[in-house]
Amino acid sequence: MSRVEPIDNAATPAPRVRATVAVLTFHRPEQIQETVRQLHAQALASPRWCEVDVLVVDNDPKGSGCEAVESLSRGGVRCVIEPTPGIAAGRNRALDECVRAGRDVILFMDDDGRPADSWVVSMLKRWRKTKAAAVTGWVDTHYLGEPSEWVLAGGFFSRTRFEDGSERPAAASNNLLLDLHQVGPLRFAPSLGLSGGEDTLFTRMLVERGGRIVFARDAVVVDQVALERVTRRWVLARQLSHGNTSGLVEMYLRPGLPARAKVLVGGAGRMVVGSAKGSLGRLRRDLAADARGWRLAARGTGMALAGLGLVWNEYARPSGSRRRLARAPRIGAGALTSGLTLPEEPAGEAGASAAGAQGGASRLLPGGKTPGTSRCRGGGGGWGIRTPEGLHPTRFPSVRHRPLGESSRRHTRLRAGTCNGTGIYRNGASQGQPDQV
């Protein structure tokens, strides 16, 4: 039995926690209506120490989702239209709306999900107790149509329910709470908006920056799996997509030929092993071995495609110009901006003025690079990045970093100085060489 922690409703901390539940929707008016009804009921039942509202981000430029939501006439529920296609654009819009409204936390779920009883409170309780940067919960499955025995044997919709309070290295956004103060200007990568995986990249970078993701076992969202999603073709295509995005994310975080080779070889190996296991299982009439083998092979195929520089756009729209299988941006060549923004890091002694003068956040490229900037190394234990606004200290997220001020071969301390037009960091008589962008 999972642990249940009591809430002291008698003591009301000041100020109250301001939380927003954000749901993205696209051409699902009936589903978003039911989801909003249930979320609104939980918002009204929230304890006195928190204030909860509901935000719907409609990715349909015509506003079909907003029309459905507004017809409910619920107080504390609002809807905005995000015309830019893609999941990442919708999630970034939700983050920006919450930041502008002065919210403390945001809770994400999908429009085809249903919150279990006390989902909102369970997520907030876990965050309130741990003060983690993110909280994730379990996603259960409800089939709207009877799946085949092959799909059930393959465990395509099975998700692990981890230990309550355990820390996770990454999380999906269909059951996710984010502490907006710890997230800061970090954003989802628009380049992954049609392929998926933007939530994995986001949460992994959050952990790279020192944030913690904890698991709330009692915070359950029920995924409503439509009939068209329980076919063999659909589930294998989904596994291919997952393998593709996992490979791309790995190369974004660890740019270079070694990472690409690892993804390519790993994908090819899974294809071979999975195909062999699936074929053998079919010959032996072992349904589980058959399904799980082809599941592994499909995931390996996606990884191999990523290693070959191809992206599978699972969410490409029929009327759009993006193809399902397309050329991925060149990793490490500065061709793809991830849409992620630089965190405002403490600058230390002399670098504080440079950090304080930063007028806006810079977008990061894979590996922590930004367009039109150079990373400069001085001498000691941190990284600096030159933008048009000046030199700013940062711990770039493509490596496991040490704290600022702690020397290592890859991290050097920023001191007073400037980074000239060539990207060379100057500090009195000493100067460091910038990394290539």
pLDDT of residue 315: 81
Q: Same domain for 320 and 358?
A: no
Q: Is residue 8 part of a domain?
A: no
Q: Same domain for 256 and 364?
A: no
pLDDT of residue 364: 35
Q: Tell me the percentage of the chain whose pLDDT exceeds 90.
A: 61
Q: Same domain for 72 and 212?
A: yes
Average pLDDT over the chain, rounded to an integer: 77
> Cβ of 427: how many Cβ atoms within 10 Å?
18
Q: Is residue 5 part of a domain?
A: no
Q: Same domain for 68 and 176?
A: yes
Two tokens, residue 371: 């367009």
Which of 225, 245, 279 corresponds to the end of one domain? 225
Q: What is the mean pLDDT of residues 242-262?
A: 92
Q: Same domain for 199 and 272?
A: no
Asked whether the predicted pLDDT for residue 139 surpasses 50, the reply is yes
DSSP labels, 314-349: TT--TTSS--SEEEPPPTTTT-----EE------TT
Q: Same domain for 219 and 100?
A: yes
pLDDT of residue 202: 94
pLDDT of residue 195: 87
pLDDT of residue 76: 92
Number of separate domains in the chain: 3
pLDDT-derived band at 2, boundaries 50, 70, 90 = very low
Half-sphere exposure of residue 133: CA atoms within 13 angstroms, side-chain side: 21
Q: Same domain for 90 and 209?
A: yes
Q: Same domain for 248 and 391?
A: no
Asked whether the predicted pLDDT for residue 316 surpasses 90, the reply is no
pLDDT of residue 320: 56
Q: Which domain holds residue 309?
A: 232-327
Two tokens, residue 227: 């009939």
Taking alpha carbons only, the member of 338, 52, 363 closest to residue 193 is 338
Contacts 24+ apart (CB under 8 A), 352-358: 354/390, 354/391, 354/392, 354/393, 355/392, 355/393, 357/389, 357/390, 358/387, 358/389, 358/390, 358/392
Among 193-197, 228-232, 261-265, the range scoring the smallest mean pLDDT is 193-197
Q: What's the CATH code of the domain at 27?
A: 3.90.550.60
Note the pLDDT tens digit of each residue in 27-71.
999 999 999 999 999 999 998 999 999 999 999 999 999 999 999
Q: Is residue 385 part of a domain?
A: yes
Q: Is residue 236 part of a domain?
A: yes
Distance CA(163)–CA(364), nearest Å, equals: 34
